[in-house]
Structure 1
Amino acid sequence: MTITCGIDWAEQRHDVAVLDHDGRVLARRRIDVGVRGFTELVGLLNDLAGGPSGLDGRSVPIAIETDKNLLVVALQSAGFTVYPINPLAVARYRDRHGQAGKKSDADDARVLADILRTDAHRHRALPEVSEHGREVKALARQHQEAVWAMQQTANRLRSILLDFYPQALLAFPNLLHKAAQAVLTAAPTPAHGARLTSRRVVTLLHRCGRRNDAALVEHIVG
């Protein structure tokens, strides 16, 4: 019997739905995000896929709305075929089949399983990745997330300074520059900034690699 699985993932728990080839719901589960939940999921798929066919759970294709989290890595490492489905495609599928209305995680899990049941050929499974490849992918993702977090922090700081310390923005339009960070650390408020001397600013700029920049020193102190 051909069966498909859909997982609506979340930070606190995952909703799982398994359908047979006719679209009947064979099982629904809400599992933990840790090892216990993953073990429960694998056991469920093994039980449902086994039956007369003698297959194991790894024969069950799994649809999920991401290709990045630890659950996906664990599923691939365990030998499952994972289909990352774009959330917009899930929404369109739900609307096309008259399932619009209040969204629920359990229903989304069933919709994901149904997408694979009827339209698996329209979606691409994640390729198998070596252990080294997974490590590189994880590092690249962490780097990108760090860059995004840094930019978000700079944007929040810019918003605060605009209201509280606009002189700092005039001196340092680029808040990510080392010179901006050094001077703002030494003079975090307008009162501290007013007490900065040219000599102190030169010292701070030297520490971050800016030397003989009299115009910048005058701009900051002035």
Structure 2
Amino acid sequence: MTFYCGIDVAKRKHAVAILNESGQVCKPVFVTENTRAGLEYLLEHLSQLGNEVSIGLEATGHYWLSLYDVLTSQGYPVSVINPLQISAYRKSGVRKVKNDRSDAVWIADFMRISNTPASSRDIPM
């Protein structure tokens, strides 16, 4: 079974949602600190899902960079999504709730329906 993880990236904390193939929330949406311990906590949750996890996160300032690097170094496919895409997708729905936790669910659902490819972060030398 494939799982879709949406992460609403912020300066101090990230909201994380995990959906299954049919769009159901698998675990309660949780918040993790933007620290080493917080990243380890996130990896612990992801490791419980097995190999079939697609992760999407918004390109929010520079705060997504370390999160992206940690996740990809662990072998997870990560798609960096333009916040405008998520905003447009959210507006297409009927629910008008807007907070970090609901944003994480929207990001995960966007990953589920869009088949967004994993991003790369090649840095020219």
- TM-score band by shorter chain is 0.7 to 0.9
Corresponding residue of 2:42 = 41
Query: Partners in 1 of 2:103 and 2:43 — Cα distance?
Result: 20
Corresponding residue of 1:197 = none
Q: 1:113 aligns with which of 94, 103, 108?
A: 108
- 1:34-113 matches, within 5 Å, as 34-47=35-48, 49=49, 55-56=50-51, 59-66=52-59, 68=62, 69-100=65-96, 102-113=97-108
Query: Partners in 2 of 1:128 and 1:11 — Cα distance?
Result: 20
- For the aligned residue pairs, the C-alpha RMSD in angstroms reads 1.9
Structure 1 or 2: more strand by fraction = 2
Higher relative contact order (CA 8 A, sep 6+): 2
Structure 2 unaligned residues grouped into runs of 5+: none
Runs of 4+ with deviation above 4 angstroms? none
Query: Partners in 1 of 2:98 and 2:26 — Cα distance?
Result: 21
Check the 8 A contact 1:64/1:85 in 2, yes or no: yes
Aligned length: 121
Secondary structure, counterpart of 1:25 in structure 2: coil
Instruction: Provide, for residues 152-181 of structure 1, a one-character-per-residue CA deviation record: whole Å limited to 9, x for no partner.
Output: xxxxxxxxxxxxxxxxxxxxxxxxxxxxxx
Corresponding residue of 2:119 = 126
Query: Partners in 2 of 1:37 and 1:19 — Cα distance?
Result: 20
Query: Partners in 2 of 1:88 and 1:128 — Cα distance?
Result: 20
- Identity, in percent, stands at 31
